[in-house]
Structure 1
């Protein structure tokens, strides 16, 4: 018992004594500037000013600071004493750039929009945040006007439940997939059908578009299906460009990465990586002991929004738009390879750097039941996992280490969605509620009851203006601050 007491008294003495040697370090491990001798009363805002000076930023940027995985929110000395952190060596303070804008937490339901006659299974905001599409068991896709919060277009063509709805990154197409294996394309401006893609024989489980920084306008997208196949389509011709298959069971998720690779997860417990140009198999990732349910990429937010910034604006010139999308993608990766996380029925998750290695970075355990969804934060710093064990867990997006559990739901958590500034997230559950959580305090920010039954799907608008949710009660709800 001598050591902990001695260590604690040493920390308290240092805090009382006044000064600490610190060393700034970026999240990628690079040291910034030389060691500094600072008073223990220094605050995050003072560290921010100091760091901006060291980095010679012309415009002051916001940063968060972490010491041994814990975010610094008050005075440095208090933080060290609270967490009993040793200061015998130079204290490493890891800094992380934050979004220069802030999204306000949603706090109330501003619209309950009936119209669907069966469960709402998918809601998806457009990349510019100006429109919303929903897919339902009533075989329709609906488009909603977010200004008037009223129905805009009813898209008819599907003959079976619509399971997936996905916008192209340039906002020019909506693709939807159903239980018959049919994919329809729609014009977002008029709601008119642009045609049907035939080829899959069973349910469409997932749709992903080619990134805007690779091809603009965006015309190619891929689909995953219960027929074990992954297909790439041309949205203009509605023709299948490539078919890929090595899975022994249904494909549960597809993601089109920013490095020219497509990833597919399957119930055969594996994840496959494909070359998007010729459809060749690049590598296979193994490790899960049961069905792989869900995939997420660290770059997903910028891939989804393409050339659109946090206000929803994008250049009108295609070349400029493609250049801006590339600039946003490069800023999101900033020297780090694209990361992928997978979640499974075996209660575990794996973190990968899929373009460079087929070995996992980390195996993440802690959930007591199957993992329904995983999501990277828009800045790539964090991972959320939603589980049937009624909890949401937070993980480090670089190392895969466990950070915190969020418990308040009384039913399985189906989906989570991040705010575009990576400071808040919302969860939707079988218990018919949505809950908004604060990442910094790790606490429940707002409880949002209102749905009459299970909440199957949630999405947070890329421009931060609001959250959409849908579920078994057939009503689509909009939530705003």
Structure 2
């Protein structure tokens, strides 16, 4: 039997995602719309410029097409209704809809792609042993960086955009100049493949200088890129290290095939705590502040940061603090045991939530740029969306017909990009929980994807040896 709509006004309380009340209790009409509630909140907060917000009642979003009454049919009108609100990005990324370029040059599979923090440069690593830099104005080849002797597994721009680092199956880490493509340094010391790279955040050190590399040799090394020397080696894992992250609080997190996640301080490289819970290899980690850590002093407008390093550092700090919002940094991990864990690793070794639902190994996890959502990619062919604060399951996106390798977010946290073994990319919309765009075009498996921090482009790298640029 269908529920009858609420009649009469509803007593409601606006609350932040942290549960803090905003303003007094309100007597709201049941036909209240999203637009009206947004105007009311802006007035309560005395915002000089209108800020867009998302509103949720019992995890259901109040959208432009719904009224408040449609979300509260089973709520007692005598109780106070909690309406949770989240600020939304002040800009909107348009979904990519077409392939604007197919960029050829690599002679083997493209294994990694990454845009620079300002979104104006693009680097790729390939099985052909080269790192390539691409001209995004012409959407064609720019520079070829040669030196590695085996597959290049990972590339990473520094948060200030001045350096590019690459890691290879030849056990070496190499530094490059993004503008000239010339080699800047060779970092030797690992005994096995390089699996992951992480730069020290810009708000902690500017210009960027230190980078951490993880390896299958069970260690993590922290390098000084000014001297090309290893500052210290983090030893403690029993098996290959799969992922490394450098937190905004100055800690390093490392995940391993030994099922453990270690937390290290970065002064002398001492082990602080170990996070236990996974029952199999830990493949992937992501931080709730990762977008701010990656982009440093750059915002979505890609403006050049001040020349004064201290001013640029302060801008990066302000962006990081705004994203963190006074809360501890959160980290999510994904494993071969089909589960994910949500942690506050700076604070405690106990997990906040154990997240289940995938039925095959989890290949990648990513927080949305605003830290509100988590997305996961799995070999079970699905992409899943989770609450970034609680770890609660939100929805599953089905459409791929083969394992999903990688996911990426649009800078406004509204759209999700996924790349799969089935040779396609797909764009999913968070608001509607539906497929927004299907992007076929590659002739083989899509190994790597990235969405530029300024929102202008998507890049994908494939086993077909091509990179594709996608635009709206």
Q: Give the TM-score, by structure 1 length.
A: 0.96
Deviations 1:218-254 (A, max 9, x none): 0101010000001000111110011011000000000
Task: Provide the rounded CA distance (Å) in 2 between the counterparts of 1:88 and 1:416.
Answer: 44
Structure 2 counterpart of 1:96: 86
Matched, 1:267 2:257: yes
Structure 2 counterpart of 1:310: 300
Structure 1 residue 318 displacement after superposition: 1.3
Structure 2 counterpart of 1:298: 288
Structure 1 residue 364 displacement after superposition: 0.3
Task: Provide the rounded CA distance (Å) in 2 between the counterparts of 1:169 and 1:119.
Answer: 27
Task: Provide the rounded CA distance (Å) in 2 between the counterparts of 1:273 and 1:109.
Answer: 41
SS in 2 for 1:51: helix
Task: Provide the rounded CA distance (Å) in 2 between the counterparts of 1:87 and 1:194.
Answer: 67
Structure 2 counterpart of 1:27: 17
Q: Show structure 1 runs of 5+ residues with no match.
A: none
Check the 8 A contact 1:18/1:41 in 2, yes or no.
no
Matched, 1:150 2:158: no
Structure 2 counterpart of 1:423: 414
2:48 to 58, 67, 80: 58
Structure 1 residue 80 displacement after superposition: 2.6
Structure 2 counterpart of 1:220: 210
Structure 1 residue 153 displacement after superposition: 0.2
Task: Provide the rounded CA distance (Å) in 1 between the counterparts of 2:87 and 2:5.
Answer: 32
Task: Provide the rounded CA distance (Å) in 1 between the counterparts of 2:5 and 2:336.
Answer: 49
Task: Provide the rounded CA distance (Å) in 2 between the counterparts of 1:147 and 1:39.
Answer: 52
Task: Provide the rounded CA distance (Å) in 2 between the counterparts of 1:124 and 1:176.
Answer: 11
1:280 to 270, 276, 291: 270
Structure 2 counterpart of 1:328: 319
Structure 1 counterpart of 2:395: 404
Structure 1 counterpart of 2:451: 460
Structure 1 residue 320 displacement after superposition: 1.2
Matched, 1:121 2:111: yes
Deviations 1:393-433 (A, max 9, x none): 00000000000000000000000000000000110000000
2:224 to 229, 234, 252: 234
Task: Provide the rounded CA distance (Å) in 2 between the counterparts of 1:326 and 1:171.
Answer: 16
Query: Where do residues 372-383 of structure 1 align in structure 2 (5 Å cutoff)?
Result: 372-383=363-374
Query: Where do residues 105-116 of structure 1 align in structure 2 (5 Å cutoff)?
Result: 105-116=95-106
Structure 2 counterpart of 1:369: 360
Deviations 1:271-302 (A, max 9, x none): 00000121000100000000000000000000
Check the 8 A contact 1:436/1:447 in 2, yes or no.
yes
Matched, 1:351 2:342: yes
SS in 1 for 2:72: helix
Check the 8 A contact 2:60/2:71 in 1, yes or no.
no
Structure 1 counterpart of 2:379: 388
The number of equivalent residue pairs is: 469
SS in 1 for 2:231: strand
SS in 2 for 1:378: coil
Structure 1 residue 60 displacement after superposition: 1.3
Q: Give the TM-score, by structure 2 length.
A: 0.98
Structure 1 residue 315 displacement after superposition: 2.5
Check the 8 A contact 2:369/2:413 in 1, yes or no.
yes
Structure 2 counterpart of 1:437: 428
Structure 2 counterpart of 1:450: 441
Structure 2 counterpart of 1:80: 72
Task: Provide the rounded CA distance (Å) in 1 between the counterparts of 2:93 and 2:467.
Answer: 22
Structure 1 residue 471 displacement after superposition: 1.2
2:279 to 262, 284, 289: 289
Task: Provide the rounded CA distance (Å) in 1 between the counterparts of 2:431 and 2:291.
Answer: 20
Task: Provide the rounded CA distance (Å) in 2 between the counterparts of 1:332 and 1:248.
Answer: 35
SS in 2 for 1:78: helix
Q: Which 4+ residue blocks in structure 1 deviate beyond 4 angstroms?
A: none
Task: Provide the rounded CA distance (Å) in 2 between the counterparts of 1:177 and 1:87.
Answer: 59
Deviations 1:52-83 (A, max 9, x none): 111121221111001111111121112334xx
Check the 8 A contact 2:419/2:448 in 1, yes or no.
yes
Structure 1 residue 316 displacement after superposition: 2.8
Task: Provide the rounded CA distance (Å) in 2 between the counterparts of 1:288 and 1:387.
Answer: 16
Structure 1 counterpart of 2:162: 172
